[in-house]
Amino acid sequence: MCFWGFRRLLLLLVVLSSSAGSFGEDGFRNSPSGVDESTGVVRVEGGPPGVVWVVQVSDIHINKWKPERGRALRRALGHALKRINPAVVLISGDLTDAKSKEKTYSRQYEDEWIEYQSSIQKVVDDSGIPLNRFNDLRGNHDSYGVPPSSMLDYFSKYSISAALNRSSRVQSVTVEGNDGRKHLFVGFDDSMTVGLRGPSNTFGHPTDDILEQLDQKLRRWENENAEGVTKIVYGHYPMSFTTSTETGKRPEEVMAKNDVTAYLCGHLHAKFGRRLYKRHTVGNKEFWEWEVGDWRSCRLLRVLAIDTGDTSFVDVELLSPTDQSAGRYIMPTFILQTYPLDSRFMLRGSGKTSNNSKTSNSIRTLVFSETLPVSVTARIFDFTLNPPKLVNESFMKLFQDNREESQTGPYYYTAPWESERYHHSSGFKYAMQITVESSEGSICYSDMRFFSVEGEVGEFHLTASAFIVFGFRWERAFPVLLWSMILFLVACLLIPKIFLYQLQKRGRYEEWVISVFTPASSTRAALVKIIKVPFWVMLEGARNNSLWAGMFTYMVYLIIFPWFSGRILGNDYPLGHMYIHGWTVKPFSADPEKTLSGLAIPDIMGIVLPYVYGVILPLLLILSALSAEKVACEFHITSLAKWQKKIESQSQPQSYVASKADAALDNGGSLSEGEITGSIKEEMQTHESDAVTENRGGKHDHCRLCERFIRKGLFLGCAGIAYNHWRFCSTMLGAYGPMVLVTGPAYVWGVPALLMSTLFRTSKVRSKPPRHEQ
């Protein structure tokens, strides 16, 4: 028994020691090296000459409450990478979701990072690609609520970068093709140094040091032939969501200076469109920015190829399995045309594309397919004709690289063409489409791609929603949108108040108000009234002193004082204070008294702009409208009373009194003056009663002003403002904790107080509505 027990113990020790040796210190298993660690170079062996391709994945968002995301990553990505067989894999941020189950607040969950680590290890095992050919970096979700040097910085513990001791915020890897050309990929992490919780963490914040490192990495091969190095930069944030450094420097300047071909990013997801592309021009240099859709919801990945210096890409959506419980995702057959390039968003004007006769006189494409295609055809169409006319059809030939049948990777096809036949000044005359026929008889089509032999760049237009998030820099737009609205609101408060003071000082207020209600006598007067009526509404808001004072005080408070305080960092850190000019926090545990101010500019635009435009502006308008409605109702009632008094005074002329007296004398009687007057009053009351009875069935039975139908409509506006305010407050309460209620009384309760106070003060009018005559 002891002998067999000893053997079992010895066997267990051997197994444990071998298992321990197969894991890195951070949980990833060591795999055969694919990168020359001394130079950081990946050398591509075999395959088509001069062609390399890489894969980009972004916005994975591993979520502990949604296990299907991690499950899809483990089932799909490894098998897809095995078929694609890229030189390197770039994972550009938002590795985990860091959101609560209700999505109300953000924090780091270690469980999500552990799942990310295990999922990537499964991807590495299934793909057969060495771990050190994978590169990951942070996104904003990966830095939610992570102060500097915090134990919550799980990226530094569970990421691929951590496992491979890549501690710098700027990383690079060089892929050397089998033709000796070098392709440099540089990734930079510009997430917040002080990682605030969402929604105050949406922008990239590069520093001068990060851009200096980026510049150095991009100049690594400057002693080589410049024409032989293709430079690609990748990161998480689009340039539209990237701020300038403390000295005003921009990443675009560094990339343009170093002749970067393209910048690859993520962050915005596919909901804003799957073609978020922009061409940046800095001086006489230019480069492209290409955003890739998210893996989280769309299971998208990008395959980017460089063929003898020409860069092209295709985005691929993996197909969901029919059996969700056990099936793996399916990678469809897809085509990546590497030459000629798409004239809309893949050509550059810097002369870095290949134009020599050896490469430009052939059509080239990569076909990613499970099986060898039966045929591949290139068709060229003339789009100046309607319908487009097929002008050439070429059957493409498979490049034989003597690879083994079991070897993975795409099939490379070429076909000769006479490029001089397609010279044209426009980038939209000719388009090419590749078709692939499989052994099962199915046909796969590539996207129709316009091309230009001269290198003319065709116009590429973003959709309206895509332009809003990708077309310009929000760093510049935020202060313009904010302070223009602040100035407009202040002007709406001060200008009517000053004008009202001048009217009352001259005793002309009532005359001016009467002119508002006087019907326009000409077209010009009608146009003047279009401007005059809204101004009168604001004037009545200024005449309501309590309303005006409350609104003005609220505006001053929002501009000068903190809106609220809350848990912007971890729960063990002091509260942060949210001002209109940014957050003020104490993020350093080693120096608890050190304070940083002005953080999260322009990240807080997601808090400030919707509130200013969606609550404060309509609040000022609706409160002024309530005051104006009350004045209009009182003016209408007073005018009716004066009109009825005038009608009644003229309804019984003096001849009526004389006729009564004559009738009495004709009957032989005599009436005193009092008896005559009493008889007249009695008959007038009878006449008035008949008129009222007749009027009850008339069209003036209900007066909209007297019954205050406009006020009832304004109630709906008040309800909408109250709802918006409640929604914003509940979002802040969920994001930053219950201290928002305690520390932000003006922010939380100011709007409801102003609404209720104004509704109460405008609820009664000072005159009793008279009856309406026909």
Exposure string of 398-419, with b = 16+ CB inside 10 Å and e = fewer, is eeeeeeeeeeebbbbbbbebeb
| The model's pTM | 0.85
Q: What is the pLDDT of residues 417-445, one digit of tens each?
A: 998 899 887 878 999 999 999 988 899 99
Q: Output the 3-class SS for 494-541.
A: HHHHHHHHHHHHHCCHHHHHHHHHCCCCCHHHHHHHHHHHHHHHHHHH
Categorize the per-residue pLDDT at 25 as very low, low, confident or very high, splitting at 50, 70 and 90.
very low
| 59 residue type, one letter | D
Measured CA to CA, the distance from residue 210 to residue 137 in angstroms comes to 14
Q: What is the mean pLDDT of the chain?
A: 85
| 747 touches 729 (CB < 8 A) | yes
Q: Is the dihedral of CA 59, 60, 63, 67 positive or negative?
A: positive
Residue 367 Cα to chain centre, angstroms = 34
- What is the reported pLDDT for 691? 39
Residue range 251-266: mean pLDDT, rounded: 96
- What is the reported pLDDT for 408? 66
- What is the reported pLDDT for 639? 72
- What is the reported pLDDT for 359? 55
Q: Give the rounded percent of residues in the chain with a pLDDT score beyond 70.
A: 81
Categorize the per-residue pLDDT at 461 as very low, low, confident or very high, splitting at 50, 70 and 90.
confident
- In the chain, CATH 2.60.40 sits at 299-349+358-471
Residue 582 Cα to chain centre, angstroms = 20
Q: How many residues does the chain have?
A: 774
Categorize the per-residue pLDDT at 277 as very low, low, confident or very high, splitting at 50, 70 and 90.
very high
- What is the reported pLDDT for 705? 62
- What is the reported pLDDT for 323? 57
Residue range 262-289: mean pLDDT, rounded: 93
Measured CA to CA, the distance from residue 538 to residue 113 in angstroms comes to 55
- What is the reported pLDDT for 13? 37
- What is the reported pLDDT for 197? 96
Measured CA to CA, the distance from residue 603 to residue 578 in angstroms comes to 12
- pLDDT greater than 60 at residue 603: yes
Q: What is the pLDDT of residues 96-105, one digit of tens each?
A: 999 999 999 9
Question: Does 767 or 502 have the greater pLDDT score?
Answer: 502
Q: What is the pLDDT of residues 171-196, one digit of tens each?
A: 999 999 988 899 999 999 999 999 99
Q: What is the pLDDT of residues 110-131, one digit of tens each?
A: 999 999 999 999 999 999 999 9
State yes or no: cis peptide before 602, omega within 30 of 0. yes
Measured CA to CA, the distance from residue 759 to residue 714 in angstroms comes to 10
Alpha helices in 170-249 (DSSP H): 208-218
- pLDDT greater than 80 at residue 20: no
- What is the reported pLDDT for 19? 37
- pLDDT greater than 50 at residue 600: yes
| 238 touches 265 (CB < 8 A) | yes
| 756 touches 748 (CB < 8 A) | no
Residue range 133-156: mean pLDDT, rounded: 95
CB under 8 Å to 368, separation ≥6 — which residues? 83, 84, 303, 316, 331, 333, 334, 335, 336, 410, 411
Angle at 692 between CA 686 and CA 696, to 5 degrees: 150
Residue range 193-200: mean pLDDT, rounded: 95
- What is the reported pLDDT for 547? 92
Cα torsion at 97, 102, 103, 107 (round to 10°)?
A: -60
Q: What is the pLDDT of residues 473-485, one digit of tens each?
A: 999 999 999 999 9
Question: What's the first-to-final CA gap in the chain, in angstroms?
Answer: 117
Domain 299-349+358-471 is in which class? mainly beta
Residue range 688-692: mean pLDDT, rounded: 42
